[in-house]
Structure 1
Amino acid sequence: MQFIHELLQHQATRRPDAICLYPEEAEPIRYGQLWRQVQAIGDWLRSEKVAAGHKVMLVGENCPEMVALLFACSAIGAWPISVNARLSAREISVIADHCEPSLIFFTARCSAPADGHAAAYGAQACDAAAFPAGNKYAVLSPAAAPESAEQAQAVATLIYTSGTTGAPKGVMVSHKGLLHFARISAASRRMSPQDIAYAALPLSHIFGIATVLMATFHAGASLVLRARFDVDDVLRTLADPGISILQGVPTMFVRIVSAAADQPRIHAPALRYVYTGGAALDLALKGKIESLFGLPLHHGYGITEYAGSMFITDIDKPRGDAAAGYAVEGVELQIMQDGQPVQQAGAKGDILIRGPGVMLGYYRNPVQTAQALLPGGWLNTGDIGYVDGDGALFITGRSKDLIIRSGFNVYPQEVEAVMNAFPGIRLSAVVGKAQEDGNEEVVAFYETEDGRAIDKTALMDYLAERLAPYKRPARLMEIEQIPTTISGKIQKEPLRNRLDTAVP
């Protein structure tokens, strides 16, 4: 296979009547049925002048249309850019301005936020027979120049991350990488057509696309597809249709533990594999989940710049620690200290990765691409860790300012850029505060212009209009002067040290 849509095409040919999706409040969708929809969507896209090398932005939340459009774009050689409809209008606009899509599709049928964004773009109703009624779309640049043929064929999708500078970074994820990891992931979990996985992780995130969607379709298994994570829904679907694979970020499992506080064991007759990724693993949470399900909680390590997990714990050898596991097939690791590789077990250093899933670069961003993609094909992950004597990787830190909130990356400089534009704020600095559940709270310090009073309620309303919920500060803390170096660089460590005693 060369392209991701061939995964679906293969299953539709082999097992057309097998269920692939269990949508919310709808009849199950079968592989043959979904493939026919993908073909019809491809015809519709062509009728709207979308061709190979063009970009199609998908603004929505998990639903069958998001899945079908992803594969339809692959089938005609276009680039899909899936973005979560819960992003603010500003964030959607910044991404659209950067990637210049020919067409934007809004899953307005099943997502109120998507419908709101559609109105802002003057989108029209999508009456094409390929879609259920209620969706909308807008044609923006029908004459936009397509990407080169070679580039168009290599890139499966762009996944946007804000970037440490606050500017958007479109990670160019390859067909080759996704197809490779689909096979690796399915094999690591021993997935079969009888498996049913739960899919509430956004399909705009590499975890949702690679680990959940692609691996499941590679195995010919089924997905319970949900727009948002809901504990009650998880508990219902564990029993019917009977989830066998449960994957999510740690905060999802924290909510499960909370909801099942009075239960010694959760009823999950078909469940055989439980996995968490996207953030550090808390051992206390691991113990609680393993007690509730009577199964080991597996763990892994991946980043947006690699098409799937790079390390996964061994299904046959569950671990009692917080290791990220072992390198998957094709992945090479170097731990670097002061620019030199280290070999001894336990030596901490920068994590460099090489393998078939390494991104093709940041779209239209050669400077940051050069910083991340090093000579010899190595990817600088920006994370810090070590390998133990058994060969398992442990993550001990990450790039200094990055905050992980609900499994998503929050880049402080993006939040700071928004805050600094608020009248009366001279300077801001955003840091993360570790929580008991392994999550991080976003905390914003700010100093005012000449002691000017800031209405915190108005400031929070301002941020709510411009930032996705997971990026918004949980605390706003006024400070007389934000500490800086002699050269004017903000010092964040003193701010982190204040958080234990500071009063909001």
Structure 2
Amino acid sequence: MMEPPKGTIRDWLDTRAEEGGTGFVFPDGAPDLSWPELRDTARDIARALTAKGIAKGESIAILHPNGREALECLFGVLYGGFRATMINLVAGTSAVSYALQHSGARFAFVHASQTGLFEQTADLSSISPFDRSAATGCPPAELHPLSAGDHALLMYTSGTTGRPKGVVHTHASLLAGGWTTAVAHELTAQDRGLCVLPIYHINGLCVTVMGTLISGGSLAMCERFSASRFWAHAGWSQATWFSVVPTIISHLLHSELDPVDSTRTRIRFGRSASSALAPDVQRAFEDRFGMPIIETMGLTETAAQILSNPLPPGTRKIGSPGIAYGNEIAILDANQNPVTDGSEGELAVRGPNVMLEYLSNPEATAGTFTADGWLRTGDLGRIDADGYVFVTGRLKELIIKGGENIAPREIDEALYSHPDVIEAAAFGRPCKSYGETVEAAVKIRNGSSLTPLELIEICHSQLGKFKSPDEVHFLAELPKGPSGKIQRNKILGEIEGR
């Protein structure tokens, strides 16, 4: 399928239901969910919502952890033509309260485990929990007519620089997000993915769920990632691929558990996204487990994947998230013009999977798109002669020491070169003399005798003294977002609050 998907999610779910077969299995114990069952339940939910007089494109909040119910609510909202507003359950009460208020949702699907969070964060005079039982035996309601350009998804960014922004995706861009994944990874109806990332995050939602809808395969959905159960879940579910983030790859690498031979040979690949994968970690994982890790890159604003390395036997370049699939990539100079000489600039993307807008925030929307329609990612990088992108850092994460820009990523990679390091992140500390000084936080394996001084010396040998951290802090856990991505901007606060 070389063209972006046409139609709406309603159309695609109807097609899968007509074809039949299992869509989702649940390693944690819920019964399998077939495509026809999912379509019928989604249609019932859609009719019940429509009967409430909810307008097309109106936000419906979803406060659900991964599971069968979460999928039924998500597809019910999408099938009815409403805007699925996925609430990040671990964002903190302030961010959840803001998302519920800002989205304008009048109704919410609230899982039993999230009742407390909902009551803490919702203005109960303006938003009500929707009773799922109301969808059973609801009189048929004529559903809203749908088109590809209608609103489908509202997902809030992590808000590292102020208030979270509400990213709006249409049916077209949401489907295209699943399509870029399916094309890059050559997913077929015979594939079964393993989802351990939350579907209130764009990676879990688009890569695994929408990628499955587009490919016609199936998906094993876990409630959450567990290092002790990961390989057992992969084996039980007969998964052929999985999508994770670098911290998960590192935790699996430092676990004593191995997959059985049949699981090892069945899994075609694992994919890594959300942040840079340290080359030493990637090589060690592949050497130990005998399966390729495909490094990729995506954004909430692009319905996840924009770049991917090809599958073997194609060329994978360690340290690069790969080449563009289904969209265009450019490096922009300071004047927002594409550069063609391989020099560094801001990574930008243009294509069918790019968001429509930031909800009710025209200033932020205008600032994110160039006059030529490129979406600015905020990442610094360069493109080599073969079209592979090498990301060198985040514009907003650069450490500026004595007027010189230092990318935290190269310090992270030096730290990860020691096999006892499980998590690592460099960051800047304000300093009167230099503007900022370099420090780092790491998590090391239990029983390790590694010292901060040894890690600083490793950095000195690989990077020189100027770029190396003055201090390395050992933490039990580094702060992470819902996908497992380390939140660099929160580390200093954790250290000072200890």
Deviation at 1:222, TM superposition (A): 1.4
Distance 1:175 1:402 in 2: 35
- 3-state SS in 2 of match to 1:235: helix
Deviations 1:112-157 (A, max 9, x none): 3x132234346668351658xxxxxxxxxxxxxxxx9999952220
- 3-state SS in 1 of match to 2:213: helix
Asked if the contact 1:246/1:273 (under 8 Å) is kept, the reply is yes
State whether structure 2 residue 380 is matched by structure 1 residue 384: yes
Paired residue type of 1:118: F
State whether structure 2 residue 192 is matched by structure 1 residue 196: yes
Cross-structure match for 2:269: 273
- 3-state SS in 1 of match to 2:378: strand
From 393, 399, 405, the equivalent of 1:397 is 393
Paired residue type of 1:306: T
Measured at CA, do residues 192 and 478 of structure 1 come closer, stay the same or move farther in structure 2, by a change above 3 Å?
closer
Cross-structure match for 1:12: 17
Distance 1:222 1:391 in 2: 32
Distance 1:348 1:263 in 2: 41
Structure 2, gaps ≥5 residues long: 1-5, 137-143, 400-407, 417-421, 432-480
Distance 2:315 2:353 in 1: 25
Distance 2:290 2:246 in 1: 17
Measured at CA, do residues 23 and 41 of structure 1 come closer, stay the same or move farther in structure 2, by a change above 3 Å?
farther
Deviation at 1:229, TM superposition (A): 0.6
Deviations 1:164-215 (A, max 9, x none): 5411200111221222232332122121222111112111222112111101
Cross-structure match for 2:118: 118
Cross-structure match for 2:95: 91
Distance 1:130 1:179 in 2: 26
Deviation at 1:84, TM superposition (A): 2.4
Distance 1:168 1:348 in 2: 28
Paired residue type of 1:381: T
Measured at CA, do residues 276 and 266 of structure 1 come closer, stay the same or move farther in structure 2, by a change above 3 Å?
farther
Cross-structure match for 2:64: 60
State whether structure 2 residue 425 is matched by structure 1 residue 440: yes
Taking structure 1 as the reference length, the TM-score comes to 0.74
Distance 1:19 1:352 in 2: 34
Taking every aligned residue pair, what percent have the same amino acid on both sides?
25
Cross-structure match for 1:333: 330
Within a 5 Å distance, the mapping from 1:289-368 to structure 2 comes to 289-315=285-311, 316-345=313-342, 347-368=343-364
From 166, 173, 178, the equivalent of 2:169 is 173
Asked if the contact 2:63/2:89 (under 8 Å) is kept, the reply is yes
Measured at CA, do residues 21 and 365 of structure 1 come closer, stay the same or move farther in structure 2, by a change above 3 Å?
same
Cross-structure match for 1:238: 234
Distance 1:294 1:40 in 2: 45
Measured at CA, do residues 442 and 396 of structure 1 come closer, stay the same or move farther in structure 2, by a change above 3 Å?
closer
Structure 1, gaps ≥5 residues long: 132-147, 404-430, 447-466, 480-502
State whether structure 2 residue 211 is matched by structure 1 residue 222: no
Measured at CA, do residues 23 and 107 of structure 1 come closer, stay the same or move farther in structure 2, by a change above 3 Å?
farther
Distance 1:265 1:153 in 2: 46
Distance 2:88 2:428 in 1: 23
Taking structure 2 as the reference length, the TM-score comes to 0.75
Paired residue type of 2:278: D
Deviation at 1:160, TM superposition (A): 0.1
**Number of residue pairs the alignment of both structures matches:** 413
Asked if the contact 1:154/1:175 (under 8 Å) is kept, the reply is yes
Cross-structure match for 2:39: 35
Measured at CA, do residues 383 and 61 of structure 1 come closer, stay the same or move farther in structure 2, by a change above 3 Å?
same
- 3-state SS in 1 of match to 2:372: helix
Deviations 1:72-122 (A, max 9, x none): 2222211011112223222211111111101111112xxx3x132234346
- 3-state SS in 2 of match to 1:176: helix
Cross-structure match for 2:55: 51
Distance 1:162 1:153 in 2: 25
Deviation at 1:10, TM superposition (A): 1.1
Measured at CA, do residues 444 and 11 of structure 1 come closer, stay the same or move farther in structure 2, by a change above 3 Å?
farther
Paired residue type of 2:12: L
Measured at CA, do residues 281 and 102 of structure 1 come closer, stay the same or move farther in structure 2, by a change above 3 Å?
same
Deviation at 1:50, TM superposition (A): 2.3
Cross-structure match for 2:107: 103
Paired residue type of 1:99: S
Deviations 1:274-299 (A, max 9, x none): 11011001011101221233122111
Distance 1:397 1:129 in 2: 49
- 3-state SS in 2 of match to 1:8: helix
Deviation at 1:264, TM superposition (A): 11
Cross-structure match for 1:254: 250
- 3-state SS in 2 of match to 1:24: coil
Cross-structure match for 1:160: 156
Paired residue type of 1:219: S
Deviations 1:45-91 (A, max 9, x none): 22333231211011121112222222222222110111122232222
Asked if the contact 1:249/1:276 (under 8 Å) is kept, the reply is yes
Asked if the contact 1:335/1:385 (under 8 Å) is kept, the reply is no
Asked if the contact 1:174/1:357 (under 8 Å) is kept, the reply is no
Asked if the contact 1:361/1:373 (under 8 Å) is kept, the reply is no
The two structures, once aligned, show a CA RMSD in angstroms of 3.4
Is 156-165 or 469-478 further displaced after alignment?
469-478
- 3-state SS in 1 of match to 2:31: coil
Cross-structure match for 2:464: none
Asked if the contact 2:258/2:289 (under 8 Å) is kept, the reply is no
- 3-state SS in 2 of match to 1:172: strand
Paired residue type of 2:323: Y
Cross-structure match for 1:374: 370
